[in-house]
Amino acid sequence: MTGSKSPPTRRNLLSWLLRAGTGSVVAALVYRASGFHRSGRMVWQLDPRKCIQCGKCETACVLQPSAVKCTHGYAMCGYCKLCFGFFKPDAPRLDEAAENQICPTGAIARKFIEAPYFEYSIKEPLCTGCGLCVKSCANFGNGSLYLQVRHDRCKNCNTCRIAELCPAQAFVRVPEESPYLLKEKL
């Protein structure tokens, strides 16, 4: 402990002053940054009203497959037999065969409810967040399919890599306690 053993010279005093000065600069900075009240953690979410389904959500995330996936706002869905989020525009037939589906990974499940209604749900482990279904549903249907950052996957990067590249500036920080921007509730 050089500091404590050596006699209190002028040099010693000066270095303690400098040390205390630097320490208080750090403290002041942190104090000002924290404000007077304690704020909790924030997490990333994308605003589905701004999203244009550019496809970056699938590729830009630091995770592969992406932490962004499609979600279904059932309350907005028309339960259409001919779902624009499910069927390709040039689908040979209206059944669940893979060649008829928009989704490249077959992540959308189609379930008959009653004539003429079908319910669509997302098999999340399969979804890659490409947004193809979302785009088609938004353009031709009710827009009940939309993308969301899934918080069981998202690493909550200090800066979301998708946020940096999103052409629509759709990414925002939301409080950890309510981490979704659900289109049907916005």
The verdict on 98 binding another protein (CB under 8 A) reads: no
Tokens of 12: 């010693």
The verdict on 174 binding ligand SF4 (CB under 6 A) reads: no
- For another protein, the closer CB: 8 or 89: 89
In 41-155, beta strands by DSSP E? 42-46, 68-72, 108-114, 117-122, 145-149
- For another protein, the closer CB: 91 or 126: 91
Cβ–Cβ < 8 Å for 171, 165: no
How many residues sit close enough to another protein to count as binding (CB under 8 A)?
A: 86
- For ligand SF4, the closer CB: 80 or 134: 134
Which of residues 12, 59, 100, 105 is near ligand SF4 by CB under 6 A? Answer: 105
How many alpha carbons lie under 13 Å from residue 80 in its C-beta half-sphere?
17
- For another protein, the closer CB: 33 or 105: 33
How many alpha carbons lie under 13 Å from residue 25 in its C-beta half-sphere?
5
- Give, as ranges, the residues between 7 and 36 that touch another protein (CB under 8 A): 15, 18-19, 22-23, 26-27, 29-30, 32-36
The verdict on 181 binding ligand SF4 (CB under 6 A) reads: no
* Residue 106 CB, nearest approach to another protein (Å): 19
Which of residues 94, 168, 172, 174 is near ligand SF4 by CB under 6 A? Answer: 168
How many alpha carbons lie under 13 Å from residue 130 in its C-beta half-sphere?
14
> Which letter, b or e, does each residue of 61-95 get, where b requires 16 or more Cβ atoms within 10 Å of its Cβ?
beeebbbbbbbbbeebbebbeebbbbbeeeeeeee
- For another protein, the closer CB: 105 or 151: 151
Return the one option of ligand SF4, another protein, none that residue 26 interacts with (CB less than 5 to 8 A, by type). Answer: another protein
